[in-house]
C-alpha cells in the first residue's frame, strides 16, 4: 500500500499562511493526492485533491512536487476555525486509507 | 452539513454482543464506505459498497459485515464484539463516476463503547 508521512503536529498564528507537508515516496502513477481535515467532534471533510498539477480552491492550495513524491497543503490565511487534524491520503481505486494526520493548532 | 446521517450517535454494548449501525447516504450517491476511528488515530478503512456489492475491504475480520440497500442507505454489522471494537464508526458516501473520482462526504459518526 502506498503510504504518506506527515508531521504529528504544527502550530500557526491566526491570519498567517500555513504550509502542511506530506511525503509519499511510494506513490504510483495513478494515485491521486487527497487532503481531508477533521474538526473536533466531526467527521472528516474534503479539502482538495490533485494528480500532477498544482490546484487551488476556495479553501486551500495544493502544491505537488514534480516527482510527485511530496506535496504541500497551503492555507493562505489561517483562522481559528482551521484548527483541525489534516490528513494527506493517496487515493486508491476502491478505498481511501488515512494515516495519523497533522494536528494544526492556530493561535490567536 | 454533508447530508450523510448516521444512527445511533452513541451506544454501549457488552463484549460478545452484536451491533448494527446505520447510515443514510447523501442523495444520489451510489458508493458508501465505512471507517473505524479509535481515539487519537486516523480513520481506518473497513469496506466499501458500490451498487449493493462489496468492492473493497480493509484489514478487518469477517465479523465486520455490511449491506447497502437499493436506496443507497447502508448498515455496518459487527458480531461477537470485543473491547477493542470501541471506537467512532464513520460512514462516507460519494458519487462514483470513474476511478479515483468523487469527493467523500462523511457523517458525524456513531460512537460505540464495548464494556
- The model's pLDDT over B10-65, given as tens digits with 9 standing for 90+, comes to 999 999 999 999 999 988 888 899 999 999 899 999 999 988 999 889 999 999 99
Length of chain A as a residue count: 108
Contact A90, B35 (CB under 8 A): no
Residue B87: all three cell numbers together: 471506537
pLDDT of residue A93: 62
Contact B104, A96 (CB under 8 A): yes
pLDDT of residue B27: 81
Q: Between B41, B55, B92, which is nearest A94 by CB?
A: B55
Measured between CB atoms, does A98 come within 8 Å of chain B? yes
pLDDT of residue A1: 55
The tens digit of pLDDT for each residue in B63-79 reads 999 999 988 899 999 99
Residue contact B99–A93, C-beta within 8 A: yes
pLDDT of residue B2: 63
Half-sphere exposure of B75 (CA within 13 A, CB side): 10
* CA-atom Rg of chain A in angstroms: 13
Q: Between A31, A46, A101, which is nearest B103 by CB?
A: A46
Distance (Å) from the C-alpha of residue A36 to the closest C-alpha of chain B?
A: 9
Q: What residue of A is the nearest CA neighbor of B108?
A: A43
Mean pLDDT (whole number) for B89-104: 78
Name every chain B residue with its beta carbon within 8 A of the beta carbon of A32: 100
The tens digit of pLDDT for each residue in B2-19 reads 689 999 999 999 999 999
Task: Give me the sheet containing B5-7, strands edge to edge.
Answer: B5-7, B19-24, B74-78, B64-68
User: Three-state DSSP class for A13?
Assistant: strand
Residue contact B108–A41, C-beta within 8 A: yes
- Counting one residue from chain A and one from chain B, the pairs whose CB atoms sit within 8 A come to 58
User: Three-state DSSP class for A81?
Assistant: helix
pLDDT of residue B85: 98
C-alpha A36/C-alpha A55 separation (Å) is 15
How far lies A95's CA from each of A55, B6, B18, B102, in Å? 22, 20, 25, 11
Which comes out higher in pLDDT, residue A19 or B103? Answer: A19
Encode chain A (108 residues) as per-residue pLDDT tens digits. Answer: 558 999 999 999 999 999 999 999 988 888 889 999 999 889 999 999 999 999 999 999 999 999 999 999 999 999 999 999 999 998 866 667 788 899 999 999
* CB neighbour list of residue A67: distance below 8 Å, 6 or more residues apart: none
Per the listing, cell 462516507 goes with B92
How far lies A83's CA from each of A72, B10, B21, in Å? 17, 25, 29
Q: What residue of A is the nearest CA neighbor of B88?
A: A43
Amino acid at each position: 500500500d502506498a503510504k504518506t508521512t506527515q508531521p504529528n503536529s504544527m502550530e500557526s498564528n491566526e491570519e498567517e499562511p500555513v504550509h502542511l507537508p506530506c511525503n509519499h515516496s511510494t506513490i504510483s502513477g495513478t494515485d491521486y493526492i487527497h487532503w481531508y481535515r477533521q474538526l473536533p467532534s466531526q467527521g472528516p471533510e474534503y479539502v482538495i485533491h490533485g494528480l500532477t498539477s498544482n490546484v487551488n480552491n476556495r479553501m486551500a492550495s495544493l502544491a505537488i512536487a514534480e516527482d510527485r513524491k511530496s506535496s504541500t497543503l497551503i492555507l493562505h490565511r489561517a483562522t481559528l476555525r482551521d484548527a483541525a487534524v489534516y490528513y494527506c491520503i493517496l487515493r486508491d481505486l476502491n478505498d481511501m486509507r488515512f494515516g495519523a494526520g497533522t494536528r494544526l493548532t492556530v493561535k490567536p | 452539513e454533508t447530508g450523510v446521517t448516521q444512527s445511533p450517535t452513541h451506544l454501549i454494548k457488552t463484549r460478545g454482543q452484536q451491533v448494527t449501525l446505520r447510515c443514510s447516504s447523501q442523495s444520489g450517491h451510489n458508493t458508501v464506505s465505512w471507517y473505524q476511528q479509535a481515539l487519537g488515530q486516523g480513520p481506518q478503512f473497513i469496506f466499501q459498497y458500490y451498487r449493493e456489492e462489496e468492492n473493497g475491504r480493509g484489514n478487518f475480520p469477517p465479523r465486520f459485515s455490511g449491506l447497502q440497500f437499493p436506496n443507497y442507505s447502508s448498515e455496518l454489522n459487527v458480531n461477537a464484539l470485543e473491547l477493542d471494537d470501541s471506537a467512532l464508526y464513520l460512514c462516507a458516501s460519494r458519487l462514483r463516476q470513474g476511478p479515483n473520482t468523487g469527493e467523500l462526504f462523511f457523517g458525524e459518526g456513531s460512537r460505540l463503547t464495548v464494556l
